Chain A
Amino acid sequence: ETGVTQSPTHLIKTRGQQVTLRCSSQSGHNTVSWYQQALGQGPQFIFQYYREEENGRGNFPPRFSGLQFPNYSSELNVNALELDDSALYLCASSLTADYGYTFGSGTRLTVV
């Protein structure tokens, strides 16, 4: 059973650019959620997908968007990058959310 994998592990982008982060959920997990974690803070919920449909969104602007594919893998897209978007982006998957989410190792995004 493979865990949650994210790519890339590190990324440096310039302000104004666009970025796509990828996540493969744990085998059999049909729910994927994305989080942004700034240094010294807890993860902040961005949005969640269940069977390819967005079923929850946090307080993030529309330039943060996502997709979930039929194999339950997912993408996070961020347009018009700002310096404050620099953070660790975490993907987590779950089969039964009441029993917790498994996190990937994250993508460290630096916007310069």
Chain B
Amino acid sequence: QKEVEQNSGPLSVPEGAIASLNCTYSDRGSQSFFWYRQYSGKSPELIMFIYSNGDKEDGRFTAQLNKASQYVSLLIRDSQPSDSATYLCAAYYGKLTFGQGTILTVHP
């Protein structure tokens, strides 16, 4: 079982829709969780982090954490073509462990 697993993509949504990205992790000791965005040919860029159960909102982005279910998600509201990228989920427990990424395409 992979330590951090993301829902298989690619994911395609129309402009203005909600994009939902999901991630599960296996290590219950994981303390913090991160969502990174990576444009093609570029390095990962941190967009959200969460360490408490529940929701955390930042603009159009909402991260959700459920430690009992070992589940993290990212919702992107009012998706824009500029949101098209690979989204990486990562868990931290002494080191960052990444999932394989989900490719999101937002089409006009």
**A33-B95, A41-B101, A56-B94 in contact; A100/B88 too (CB < 8 A)?**
no
Number of A-B contacts (CB under 8 A): 57
Q: Would A98 and B100 be within 8 Å (CB), given that A56-B95, A105-B43 are in contact?
A: no
B92 at the interface (CB under 8 A from A): yes
Min distance, Cβ B35 to any Cβ of chain A, angstroms: 10
Q: Is B42's beta carbon under 8 Å from chain A?
A: yes
For B98, the chain A residues whose CB sits under 8 A away are 35, 42-45
**Given known A-B contacts A43-B44, A58-B95, A99 and B100 have beta carbons under 8 A apart:** no
Closest to A108 in B: B41
User: Is there contact, CB below 8 Å, between B34 and A100?
Assistant: yes
Q: Which residues of B pack against A, CB within 8 Å?
A: 4, 31-32, 34, 36, 42-46, 49, 51, 88, 90, 92, 94-101
Using a CB–CB distance below 8 Å, which chain A residues touch chain B?
Answer: 33, 35, 40-45, 48, 55-56, 58, 88, 90, 92, 97-106
